[in-house]
Amino acid sequence: MLAWAGLTRSELDLSDAARVRAVIADQARPARVQGGLVVINTAAWTNVDGAESDEEGAYAVNAAGPAHLAAACAQAGAVLVHISTDYVFDGAASKPYETTDPPGPRCAYGRTKLAGEEAVLELCPGSYVVRTAWVYGRTGGNFVKTIARLARERDQLTVVADQHGSPTWSADLAAGLLDLVTAQPTPGLYHCTGGGETTWFGFARAIVGALGQDPAKVVPITTAEFPRPAARPAYSVLSQRSWQDAGLRPLRPWEDAFAAAFAEFGAELRADL
């Protein structure tokens, strides 16, 4: 029977290499009876702008931590699934990025996440690195909740319309990761996002429409009109070819996932934390 446990930072601080080795070894022993231990690493420094002023801190979480985890998993014979990001690319493409396309991060967050990918693949050759993008869920803060709050507070919202990506419902991503660890195809790099693509402007209009308001209250602006400390990729759509070639089910179109998420968890998605 499949068993799982979610560990908090206090239970497994990835900055503590010795603690990581001890916890993974402890988890691996009983897991061998059930076919082995699979570790899914969702821990990350996700404050993109904050990483610009503290790249060392972001590196400790996004690169050094995964390296500790990869080494521990390799030693314990565990399978590691490490979650990464579209920000490892420069955003200059005009078609979806393949796993074989060369990375070129434009910000500290992207650089530290790329370093984490490289460490995982080097130290734990049997691991999986799964890049995803534009994730939102029923818990925690995210773009959907922010737009829902702003739509309540303002008569007009300005949202960038020249950054392209694929919104990803966290429950769909979780289901995809379970498919991956069940099938365990060839280890390496994979892309897994919601299907299709849009812009932050297009996504915001969908959110406002779901709230029962007029999507026309969302007004498009350019990235140049909304400067941020960290550069964002203008185009970061990830191709799902690697996922499909491995025999895994691609995630449903982002519009379908968002409609289903809002229908079931509309109250939570309306609440900006």
Is 109 known to be catalytic?
yes
CA distance 54 to 25: 32
Angle ∠(59,61,65) on CA atoms, nearest 5? 105
CB atoms near residue 204 (< 10 Å): 28
Nearest to 92 by CA among 82, 79, 102: 102
Nearest to 65 by CA among 41, 98, 89: 41
Which is the catalytic residue, given 59, 87, 97, 109? 109
Q: What is the DSSP string of 152-199?
A: HH-S-EEEESS-EE--EEHHHHHHHHHHHHHH--SSEEEE---BS-EE
CA distance 55 to 265: 35
Q: What is the DSSP string of 208-256?
A: HHHTTS-GGGEEEE-GGGS--SSPPPSB-PBP-HHHHHTTPPPPPBHHH
Residue for token pair 């099938």: 183
Residue for token pair 């299709």: 196
Residues annotated catalytic, as ranges: 109
